[in-house]
Structure 1
Amino acid sequence: MKYVVGLYIVMAVMVFVNGASVFIFKDEFSAIASWLTVMLFLLGTIFFVNVRYFYPRNSFWSS
């Protein structure tokens, strides 16, 4: 379950980075924010792969 929570945290940080880039920094650092978003997406993908590996299809995904 910790991988699912980690995935949710990574996705929430992605939304925060995009919002901060647009509303706080007025798109001055949009390239850095885009780079951070891509890195966070890759981190979220790693969490998703770990969930698929540690929780087989019958135990987690069917409930």
Structure 2
Amino acid sequence: MKYVISMYTVMAMMVLVNLTSEFLLNGEYSAIASWLLIALFFFGTLFFINARYVFSKKEE
């Protein structure tokens, strides 16, 4: 269950970075925000892979 919560947290952080970049910083640091979004997407993918592995082992 901790992997699912971690995936949700990463998704919320992605939205927060995107909104902060566009509305608070007026898009001035959009390149840095894009790199952060890519890194967060990578970590979210890792959590997804771990969750699939853990949940598939519980069913067997």
TM-score range, shorter chain: over 0.9
Extract unaligned runs of 5+ from structure 1. Answer: none
Extract unaligned runs of 5+ from structure 2. Answer: none
User: How many angstroms apart in 2 are the aligned matches of 1:11 and 1:21?
Assistant: 16
What's the CA shift string for 1:1-22, capped at 9, x where partnerless? 0000000000000000000000
Determine the structure 2 residue equivalent to 1:28: 28
Instruction: Tell me which amino acid in the other structure corresponds to 1:27.
Output: G
Determine the structure 2 residue equivalent to 1:8: 8
Greater share of helix: 2
3-state DSSP of counterpart to 1:39: helix
Residue 38 of structure 1, CA deviation: 0.2
- Aligned length, in residue pairs: 59
Q: Does 1:50 align with 2:50?
A: yes
3-state DSSP of counterpart to 1:43: helix
- TM-score after normalising by structure 1: 0.89
Residue 35 of structure 1, CA deviation: 0.2
Deviating above 6 A after TM superposition, structure 1's stretches of 4 or more consecutive aligned residues are none
Identity level (%): 53
